[in-house]
Amino acid sequence: MNLIAVSNLTKSYFGDDVETPVLRGVSFEIARGEFAAIMGPSGSGKSTLLHILGFLDAATGGEYRFDGKTMDDYSPDEIARVRNEKMGFVFQAFNLLPRATVLENVKLPLLYSTVKESEWNGRAMKAIEAVGLGHRAHYRASQLSGGEKQRVAIARALVNDPQIIFADEPTGNLDSKSGQQVMEILQKLNEEGHTIILITHETYTAQNAQRIIKILDGKVESDEVVNHRRAANHFIK
């Protein structure tokens, strides 16, 4: 069973009785350990798709199975639990708590988890070191550069050791050098067994993935493997 199975997925927004179809029947599957990039022009529905994949929003039609289960198989609290334990999110706008320290930001998912409090600092520090920010652990998030902020966001996505990391244009607000650093970290995480879904509209960023799914007008325009590097099977989460 693949980790992600999307079949004929549709999504429309309803505002003032007007239906705005955004996704018009999307189908694909993503295996455990894959690193897939989703590309498409602005407004094509990439973020919409990612929100559905991340159980942050419900589809209008079609079916989406994560790890074999649909959103309807869970209660709202169980969905929160799945997001907490199995998924990690990285957003274009970083979404850190600006006044909290790096360490506090990274610990945030642990707050909502079942992980024992005695392990929190150790886990968070490990994640912070994994993105190369050990020396910044006690800085406030607002004191960091854009690239550093995004690495903190990755550490936060990582701290609960999720199966999959969703990254929505993580390099969109960064210069090419810090963008490249972020991509290297995502590469490394993929090699360590995390499945990664990356949204980007930059071709050179998408080249870091093994597979590129192009979306146009709410449909899959193309879906091709560009890179055969894969995580060794025994690592896969």
Partner 1 sequence: MTFKHSFTTALKGVGTHKSRSALTILGIVIGITSIILIMSLGQGAQDLILNQIQGMGSKTIVVIPGREPKGPSDAAQVFSDSLKERDLEALKRKTNVPTLGAIMPLVFGGDTGIYGGETYRLTIFGSTDLIAKIFDIAVSEGSFFTEEDVKGRADVVVIGSKVKEELFGSGEALGKKIKIKNRSLRVVGVLAKKGQVSFFNFDEAALIPYTTAQQYIFGIKYFHRFIVEAEEEAMIAQTVGDIERTLRNEHDITNPEKDDFFVETQADLAARLSTVTDVLTLFLVSVAAISLVVGGIGIMNIMLVSVTERTREIGLRKALGATDGNILTQFLLEAIMLTGVGGAIGIMLGGAFSFAASVVLTRVFELAWVFTLPFSAVAIGVAVATGVGLVFGIYPARQASRKSPMEALRYE
Ligand X SMILES: Nc1ncnc2c1ncn2[C@@H]1O[C@H](COP(=O)(O)OP(=O)(O)OP(=O)(O)O)[C@@H](O)[C@H]1O
Six-digit token string for 144: 């960091």
Q: CA nearest 2: which of 33, 36, 38, 32?
A: 32
Residues 41, 203: contact at Cβ < 8 Å?
no
Q: With respect to ligand X, which residue has the nearer C-beta, 48 or 181?
A: 48
- Residue 161 DSSP symbol: -
Q: Using CB distances below 5 to 8 A depending on partner kind, what does residue 44 bind out of Mg ion, ligand X, partner 1, none?
A: ligand X
Strands 164-168 and 195-199, bridge-based pairing? parallel
Beta bridge pairs of residue 12 = 21
The answer to the question of residue 170 lying near partner 1 (CB under 8 A) is no
The answer to the question of residue 44 lying near ligand X (CB under 6 A) is yes
The answer to the question of residue 205 lying near Mg ion (CB under 5 A) is no
Q: Using CB distances below 5 to 8 A depending on partner kind, what does residue 122 bind out of ligand X, partner 1, Mg ion, none?
A: none
The answer to the question of residue 160 lying near ligand X (CB under 6 A) is no
The answer to the question of residue 69 lying near partner 1 (CB under 8 A) is no
Strands (DSSP E) contained in the chain are 4-15, 18-30, 35-39, 61-66, 87-90, 164-168, 195-199, 211-216, 219-225
The answer to the question of residue 67 lying near partner 1 (CB under 8 A) is no
The answer to the question of residue 13 lying near ligand X (CB under 6 A) is yes
Residue type, 64: Y
* Shortest distance in whole angstroms from residue 70 CB to ligand X: 21
The answer to the question of residue 19 lying near ligand X (CB under 6 A) is no
CA–CA gap between residue 167 and residue 170 (Å, rounded): 6
The answer to the question of residue 170 lying near ligand X (CB under 6 A) is no
User: Among 7-15, 47-55, 72-80, 189-197, which window interacts with Mg ion (CB under 5 A)?
Assistant: 47-55
Strands 35-39 and 211-216, bridge-based pairing? parallel
CA–CA gap between residue 237 and residue 225 (Å, rounded): 21
Number of residues assigned to the chain: 237
Q: With respect to partner 1, which residue has the nearer C-beta, 156 or 211?
A: 156
* Shortest distance in whole angstroms from residue 71 CB to ligand X: 18
Residues in touch with ligand X (CB under 6 A) = 13, 15, 20, 22, 40, 42-48, 201
Residues in touch with partner 1 (CB under 8 A) = 47, 51, 54, 56-57, 76-77, 80-81, 83-85, 89, 91, 95, 97, 99-100, 108-109, 111-113, 117, 156, 160
